A and B are shown apart, each in its own frame.
Chain A
Amino acid sequence: MKGLEELIADASVFAGLDASWLALIAGCAGNEHVRAETLLFQEGQPAERFFLIRHGAIALEVHSPATGSLVIETLGEGEVVGWSWLFKPYRWQFDARAIKPTRLVAFDGACLRAKCDANHELGYQLMHRFASAMLERLQATRLQLLDVYGNARASV
């Protein structure tokens, strides 16, 4: 069975970090298992944690009174769930719900922020990795916004 440090090191977002930093990060982390339908977090609530998916899948949802819940993205194995713990006002912008039984590594955001404040090199390395993951999501979202399948080119 893999320890927390090993699980964290396996994730692409933490790839290549020094063992000492992995130990620091693991000090803010713990294993969790959630059932299908579990709400990991809800829009507007304090964003105190984030998650690394080991197995399973998490849907990010937005709720509108007119349309109900809409799934805007599904995240799977090896992906990070949640960025709002990084930035003020530390509130979730979306809902996150497990769509199947899911195993996670849960991180205490305040704990990790404090370690980044105390060790700027660790902070830089982490922010660099998180920014890269966020950029990938941003680019995917832009492509999603194009609605490419709905705008058939042909008018014949």
Chain B
Amino acid sequence: MVPEPFEVVAKRRDTVDTWTLELRSRSGEPLRFAPGQFTMLSAGGAGEVPISISGDPDRPERLVHTVRAVGLATRAICDADPGRVLGVRGPFGTPWPVEDVRGMDVVLAAGGLGLAPLRPALIGLLGRREQYRRLVLMYGGRSPDQLLYPDELEDWAARGLEVLVTVDSAGPEWLGHVGVVTRLVRRAELDWTATASMLCGPEVMMRFMVAALVGQGVPSANIYASMERNMQCGIGHCGHCQLGPTLVCRDGPVYSWSELEQWLAIREL
């Protein structure tokens, strides 16, 4: 429960309000994690927030987080320059099922900042590219300047990832796709019944994405989503992140959609 001190060793601005920080443990111990897990991150007295790990699981000596500055705690984290020490608890939560989807077509669907929690899975899948059939990333953002990791998108495409990007609006200089991310589904011709999908983004986007995938024939048991709730303790004690009979910090954040859909149908949850 006690945060470990991690030093900011590198910092990069991704968009106008989003930063990627690389941290190193003061103890020198690498923070081993599975793709999809998160840590509880804190900067001084500004509070603690759950942030998905966005780094390479095979390089645990560097803890990487992509953070959008939207409130007191996340602003304090984004303001931390190299040399500053942040508090880290974790890693917590369930991972993306990268082993279970071997031999399948895999669609990773991300909306906005949702690409960050999928990045470790993407790196893992591409590192074992031969174990999977087609790998497709469907990524939707607000506008071209709000897209994360543009250089890496090109690199991933060169390594065998089919990258489909769309934005909600753009100027005429943008030659990519404009429209909601769900409309990318019809553009991909996959063996849908043997496809697995991992989704991360705003909940409403994921609901519509699932409808589009299921409409193509993807079994809902093959669809996985990373959920966001009010996670505070990170270890299933405080109950703030309850979703149905589960606690997102302990039983999630990654769930199978066939497990999730019954609870998401209840608005009060």
The interface of chain A, by Cβ under 8 A from chain B, is 57, 59, 61, 68-74, 76-77, 97, 99-100, 140, 143-144, 146-156
Distance in Å: Cβ of B262 to nearest Cβ of chain A:
22
Are A76 and B177 in touch, CB under 8 angstroms?
A: yes
The verdict on A148 contacting B187 (CB below 8 Å), with A155-B70, A156-B72 known, is no
0/1 per residue, B160-181, Cβ < 8 Å to A? 0000001011111011111110
The 9 listed contacts between A and B (C-beta, < 8 Å) are A57-B177, A71-B169, A73-B178, A100-B175, A143-B180, A148-B111, A151-B202, A154-B71, A155-B71
Are A71 and B170 in touch, CB under 8 angstroms?
A: yes
Is chain B's interface secondary structure helix, strand, loop, or mixed overall?
mixed
0/1 per residue, B223-258, Cβ < 8 Å to A? 000001000000000000000000000000000000
In the assembled complex, B205 has its CB within 8 A of some CB on chain A: yes
Given contacts A68-B171, A69-B172, A144-B179, 6 further A-B contacts (CB under 8 A): A140-B180, A143-B182, A144-B168, A148-B111, A149-B146, A152-B113
User: Which residues of chain B come closer than 8 Å to A146, judged between CB atoms?
Assistant: 204
Q: Which residue of A lies closest to B70 (CB)?
A: A152
In the assembled complex, B74 has its CB within 8 A of some CB on chain A: yes
A70 to B112, CA, bound (A): 20
Distance in Å: Cβ of B203 to nearest Cβ of chain A:
8
User: Which residues of chain A come closer than 8 Å to B47, judged between CB atoms?
Assistant: 156
Are B180 and A144 in touch, CB under 8 angstroms?
A: yes
The interface of chain B, by Cβ under 8 A from chain A, is 47, 49, 68, 70-74, 111-113, 140-142, 146, 166, 168-172, 174-180, 182-183, 187, 201-202, 204-205, 208, 228
A27 to B201, CA, bound (A): 46
Which of A59, A71, A76 is packed against the most chain B CB atoms within 10 Å? A71
User: Which residues of chain B come closer than 8 Å to A151, judged between CB atoms?
Assistant: 202
Number of A-B contacts (CB under 8 A): 89
A137 to B177, CA, bound (A): 15
Distance in Å: Cβ of B129 to nearest Cβ of chain A:
27
The verdict on A153 contacting B71 (CB below 8 Å), with A71-B172, A148-B111 known, is no
User: Which residues of chain B come closer than 8 Å to A97, judged between CB atoms?
Assistant: 172
Are B70 and A74 in touch, CB under 8 angstroms?
A: no
The verdict on A150 contacting B142 (CB below 8 Å), with A73-B178, A76-B187 known, is yes
A57 to B176, CA, bound (A): 9
User: Which residues of chain B come closer than 8 Å to A61, judged between CB atoms?
Assistant: 172
A156 to B72, CA, bound (A): 6
A155 to B71, CA, bound (A): 5
Are A156 and B208 in touch, CB under 8 angstroms?
A: no
User: Which residues of chain A come closer than 8 Å to B187, judged between CB atoms?
Assistant: 76-77
User: Which residues of chain A come closer than 8 Å to B175, judged between CB atoms?
Assistant: 99-100
Are B172 and A156 in touch, CB under 8 angstroms?
A: no
